[in-house]
Amino acid sequence: MKKSGLFIAMLLLFAFSTSCKTAQKAVAAKTESEKTSKKKSKFKPYSKVVTSDAVTDDGLFKTHQVEDDFFYEIPNDMLEKDMLWVTRIAQIPSNLGGGYMNAGSKTNQQVVAWERFQNKILLKVKSFSEVALDSTAAISNSVKVNNYEPIMYAFDIVAFSADSTAVVINVTKFLSTDVPSISGLSSRLRKQYKVRSLDKERSFINSVKSFPENIEVKQDFTYTAAEPPSNSSVGSISMQVNQSMILLPEVPMQPRLFDPRVGFFTVDQIDYSSKALKADEKTYIRRWRLEPKDPEAYARGELVEPIKPIVYYLDPGTPENLKEYIKQGIEDWQKPFETAGFKNAIIARDAPTPEEDPEFSPEDIRYSVVRYVASTTRNAVGPSVSDPRSGEIIESDIIWYHNHLRSYRNRYLLETGAANPSARTLDTDTKEMGEMMRQVIAHEIGHALGFPHNMAASYAYDVEDYRNGAFTQENGIAASLMDYARYNYIAQPGDENIRFVRQMGPYDHYATNWGYRVIPEATSPEDEVATLNSWIMEKAGDPVYKFGRQSSRFDPQSQTEAIGNNPIKASTYGMKNLKYVAQNLSQWTSSQTDNYDDLQELYGELLGVYSRYAGHVVTNVGGVNEDLKKPSQSGTVYSTVDKKTQQESVQWIIKNVFETPSWLVDKNIVQNIGPEGYFDRLRSIQARQLNSLLSFDRIGRLINSETVDANYYTALEMLQDVRKGIFSKSTTDIYRRNLQRVYIDRLSYLMTEDSSRSSYNIAQSDVRALVRGELNTLQSTLRSKRNSASNQVNKYHYEDLLARVDLILNPR
């Protein structure tokens, strides 16, 4: 009995213990549940965040506006996807950046991805400049850990969609804050205008729109600034910034390797998985993805339509009378694309009406648009958005500013008016203006297709060919539309059947074929190289197919706004025409309008044209021809301009610039457009060309030619020729006195200026020894001229120059 009782007692005790443990577990579970509940409570129910009052836009992400708050609903399958974030200035204050920035200017472009980390969504910036293209290579992990992706912003998850397939974040603070990486105002501009901060009271999110492949945000920002570029009394800078977030293709396009002998915009990468014994730098061209609908027919050489053609829509605000010219400019590129094997590769369309397509928007990344902007800006631009992984151009908007045609009318009159009677008016014929607009649009489309300026294209034609009507009608005025060669300023009065306006050229067909023709058998960029090189070699040595870089400012073959293969002859013809225009400018303008506004505007631009013609000749001096080649080609890449041409160029400048061009100071013009400053206009033009001629880099190239050219034009010879040209005249008037002071000031600059910006060590070169020698020689000349001065003004002038020279040689 006792054992039985003890046994029962033990059972009861065990049961009680078990019961207690169960109860404890229940309590613990309840406590954990409460903790979990509390933890989960930080995420609000979807309906409490996206309320019935929300304005929702469905696209790449759902975006919601609830009163003043904006939310992104990011699907889980959109996390870690590559997206391109492009920041542009949508509306710009007057004179921002000194007038060299336009609405539509891109301030930053970067690849981003949304990633989840615990209860946050991170917006991370990705880089494709350093990659391991072979992801299986061991080094790929090293590339990853040594290129850790920065976090642009971190967002708390505030809710989940009802089916838990998406996260909801509040982007209000992010989009209304001055985040440096997506700001429209660079650090340089902030410093220049002494920007203090973003004024939150005058800054807000204007709109958030979601489209199938992109999200567009407009921000209106106002910054407090001590020295704003305009409206200084307000003490602030206001601008509208556009943020574009674009889904990149899941599978990148096969890239095409860049060759500098053919002009293309590019993207760069460093491939660490390359078999080269170094980090392999790879540069790909930027181009649209054009793939033939019928690859077999394409491979047989038949013209084939692309799977997805390039389509440009015209802004609904485009004036009706201009639409046909814009469409022609777009579709002028169909012929070069046919050379590349595609038909109907590029198409112009009117934007659909709201009735035809209520969802159409120029901001939708699926649509490329020629935007017509009501602005006094005189410009047109052709920006595009490209995939940094492959160079694929995804979208492009051509921006045409309303007043740009005025620039073309003015230059048409000034540069062709002598030989072209139809240009001698302020009311240019509509068809002629339409043709100019057509070519400008085609030029900007060229940029949007991936083509940079080809500044060598106008050097392909002989100067005398520009006076041949049959030649100009067939070939235009440059071998490429992408040159800055706008008008035929060489043709002379009496030349017949002349084409004065640029047009598409043979280089445009060649470059389009090189960049866009599909090479069927190639499965990698490297597989294409041999074929691409063979196409270049077929045309090597023919100036019509030469590419000249805009950055080659030392190369007389690649000059902006120049035409013809001889700058001296071309500028001589141009100056002759300009004299005729100057004599008749009042008759063609103020006599017709009965006011002087247009006369003043055109006279200012005429001085600019004159200076430009002079500058083309200056480039010959110390000039170096750049002919881009591979080592397998004969000849060198760089060769100095021959001595005779350089000497003739200096003498041309002396005759046409330093000997007073008094025809530019026409009393019928200057005395009707302003009360003063007549003499100073010429001084500024002469100073510009003299300072350019006596630049550190130009003198340095002349010194450098001593090392590679047996018959070179020396820096000393150039300095002597310039000095003699400026001081050889026996008579001295106000213009000559001005020029001589400019000359002394320039020599002082060469003796004393900090040389850190130059391409060589000036202090240890011959430059200052040569300049010192010229100053010593000049002293003797000045003493002689002072002693024989014909009047007191000239005597004082030479005494002043002597004092200036002495101060340079013997600084106090």
CA distance 499 to 491: 9
* Residue 94 CB partners (closer than 8 Å, separation 6+): 229, 230, 231
- The pLDDT value given to residue 99: 63
How far apart are alpha carbons 79 and 81 in whole angstroms? Answer: 5
254-268 pLDDT, tens digit per residue, is: 999 999 999 999 999
Per-residue pLDDT tens digits for 677-695: 888 889 999 999 999 999 9
Q: Buried (b) or exposed (e) across 210-239, using 16+ Cβ within 10 A?
A: bbebbbbbbbbbbbbbeebbeeeeeebbbb
Phi then psi for 357, rounded to 5 degrees? -155, 90
Least confident of 98-112, 549-563, 649-663, 765-779: 98-112
Alpha carbons 774 and 720: distance in angstroms, whole number: 7
Instruction: Give the type of residue at 671.
Output: Q
pLDDT for the residue numbered 360: 83
Least confident interval from 292-306, 358-372, 683-697: 358-372
**Which pLDDT does position 184 carry in this prediction?**
87
pLDDT, tens only, 522-537:
999 999 999 999 999 9
| 43, 51, 54, 162 from 48: Cα distances, Å | 10, 6, 11, 12
- pLDDT surpasses 50 at 132: no
pLDDT in tens, 41-83: 589 999 999 999 999 999 999 999 999 999 999 999 999 999 9
pTM of the model: 0.86
pLDDT digits 0-9 by tens, 492-504: 999 999 999 999 9
What is the chain's mean pLDDT, rounded? 89
Report pLDDT digits (tens) over 624-660: 999 999 999 999 999 999 999 999 999 999 999 999 9
Contact 780, 725 (CB under 8 A): no
Q: Please give the distance of CA 607 from its chain centroid, rounded to a whole number.
A: 26
Per residue in 202-216, pLDDT (tens digit) is 999 999 999 999 999
Each residue's pLDDT tens digit, 147-191: 568 899 999 999 999 899 999 999 999 999 999 889 988 888 999
Do residues 266 and 388 lie in contact, with contact meaning Cβ atoms separated by under 8 Å?
no
Dihedrals phi, psi of 696, to nearest 5 degrees: -55, -50
Residue 397's pLDDT is 84
User: Measured between alpha carbons, how far is residue 792 from residues 738, 788, 802 in Å?
Assistant: 16, 11, 15
Q: Is 497 left (phi over 0), alpha (psi -120 to 50) or beta?
A: left
Shortest CA distance to 589 belongs to which of 597, 433, 663? 597
C-alpha angle 397-352-306 in degrees, rounded to nearest 5: 60
Model confidence over 430-467: pLDDT tens digits? 999 999 999 999 999 999 999 999 999 999 999 999 99
The pLDDT value recorded for residue 639 is: 95
Tokens describing residue 701: 């190239």
Determine contact, residues 621/646, Cβ cutoff 8 Å. Answer: yes
Task: Give residue 404's Cα distance to chain centre.
Answer: 17
Residue 709: partners with Cβ closer than 8 Å, 6 or more residues away: 640, 643
Percent residues over pLDDT 90 in the chain: 71
Widest CA span in the chain: 152
pLDDT of residue 277: 42
Checking if the pLDDT of 807 tops 80, the result is yes
Closest CA to 721 of 646, 809, 619, 651: 651
CA dihedral 721, 686, 453, 387 (to 10 degrees): 110
690 to 84, 425, 722, 747: CA distances (angstroms): 47, 34, 9, 11
405 pLDDT tier (thresholds 50, 70, 90) = confident
Pick the more confident residue, 478 or 102. Answer: 478
